[in-house]
Amino acid sequence: MTNQTINTPTNNGQQDDTSYAFFSGCQPAGIQLNDVAWSPYRDKTLLKPITVTIHPGEFLAIVGPNGSGKTSLLRCLYRTNKPTKGTVLLDGQDLWSLSPRQCAQRIATVLQDTGSEFGLSVFEMVEIGLTPKSLVWGRSDEDSQIVDSALALLDVAHLADRSFDSLSGGERQRVMIARALAQRPDVLILDEPTNHLDIRHQLDVLALLAKLPCTLIVSLHDLALASAYADRVLVMQNGEMQDCAPPNDVFTKQRIKQVFDVDTIIDEHPITQRPRFSFFIND
């Protein structure tokens, strides 16, 4: 039996309200998927038609087993996979009517594979996040403050002068999230952002993200994290949306058995008052 418990951390000094001042110009966006489907092949639909509205400022978690379509769905949302059917609207405007730069000015992404061999320092990697909104060559004092603030929020300021290539997987992941924050997006999309992080940094990062004044769309394997932090959870299986509802409604024994093929004991976390899980196999 595997027990998953979670305790939402309190502010840790690096995440007080003043730390988010550089995000003051953010305007959380709404995203509407209208019958969106996608496939790289004519005869095989990998993402079956999905209709759902993501509200401005909402924290939406996307969960599902491997191969369920989570990443394919995210790619439609950050303008990499053009839907083969349906439309994705950003504040009512077709996402594919925007230029790549216009899209980058409003949407930031953090992918599973951070890559390496960039030959850049950590500061320079985060500085790249300023590019979509830069109007002139060079960096102002305000730009440097934005980078410094993003580094501090992700607890990687002490790594600013280090080579990005020299970092551990978890450190690289936090730097890439800092780069996305420096972009000051209206929508932040993250694909499995906690994969390389230890338990403390998983909690710190999710608590930080939950306080950001933007719309958050995050794919997660860990149902406990999704339950603790998300406003709603979208459940994927075999390329199809099974449900989209608040954690207390979406995480039932029947749904978890159907989607993940495990049995579950569900109770209420004494601190978060959200579902807490103990998984077991009872074949």
pLDDT given at position 14: 44
**Residue 40: predicted pLDDT:** 87
Averaged confidence pLDDT in the chain: 89
pLDDT higher than 70, residue 187: yes
Instruction: Mean pLDDT check: name the lowest of 4-13, 116-125, 205-214, 231-240.
Output: 4-13
Average pLDDT over residues 37-41: 91
Contact 5, 283 (CB under 8 A): no
Rounded average pLDDT over 135-164? 88
What's the whole-model pTM score? 0.91
Q: What is the DSSP string of 171-207?
A: HHHHHHHHHHHHT--SEEEEESTTTT--HHHHHHHHH
The whole-angstrom separation of Cα 69 and Cα 46 is 7
Residue 24 pLDDT exceeds 90: no
Looking at residues 44-59, what average pLDDT do you find?
A: 95
Q: Return the minimum-mean-pLDDT range out of 107-121, 154-168, 204-218, 269-283.
A: 107-121
Contact yes or no for 48/37 (Cβ under 8 A): yes
Lowest mean pLDDT among 24-28, 33-37, 210-214, 247-251: 24-28
pLDDT greater than 70 at residue 92: yes
Which string of DSSP letters, residue by residue, matches 120-139?
Answer: -BHHHHHHGGGGGG--SSS-
Write down how long the chain is: 283
pLDDT at 71: 94
Q: How confident is the model at residue 17 (pLDDT cuts 50, 70, 90)?
A: low
Pick the closest to residue 31 from 86, 68, 85 (CA basis).
86
Tens of pLDDT, residues 232-256: 999 999 999 999 999 999 999 999 9
- Enumerate domains of the chain plus CATH numbers: 2-6+14-280 (3.40.50.300)
Query: In the structure, what pLDDT confidence band is assigned to residue 136 with cuts at 50, 70 and 90?
Result: low
Whether the Cβ atoms of residue 207 and residue 15 lie closer than 8 Å to each other? yes
Burial of 198 (0-12, 13-18, 19+ CB in 10 A): exposed
How does residue 45 score in pLDDT terms, banded at 50, 70 and 90?
A: confident
Give the per-residue pLDDT at 8: 42
What is the model's pLDDT at position 173? 92
| Cα–Cα distance measured from residue 47 to residue 83, given in angstroms and rounded to the nearest whole number | 9
Could you write out the DSSP letters of every residue in the chain?
-EEE---PPPP-STTSGGGGGGGTT-----EEEEEEEE-SBTTB-SEEEEEEEEPTT-EEEEE-STTSSHHHHHHHHTTSS--SEEEEEETTEEGGGS-HHHHHHHEEEE-S--------BHHHHHHGGGGGG--SSS--HHHHHHHHHHHHHTT-GGGTTSBGGGS-HHHHHHHHHHHHHHT--SEEEEESTTTT--HHHHHHHHHHHHHSSSEEEEE-S-HHHHHHH-SEEEEEETTEEEEEE-HHHH--HHHHHHHH--EEEEEE-TTT-SEEEEEE---
Lowest mean pLDDT among 15-24, 85-94, 131-140: 15-24
Better-predicted residue by pLDDT, 22 or 204: 204
The predicted pLDDT at position 58 comes to 97
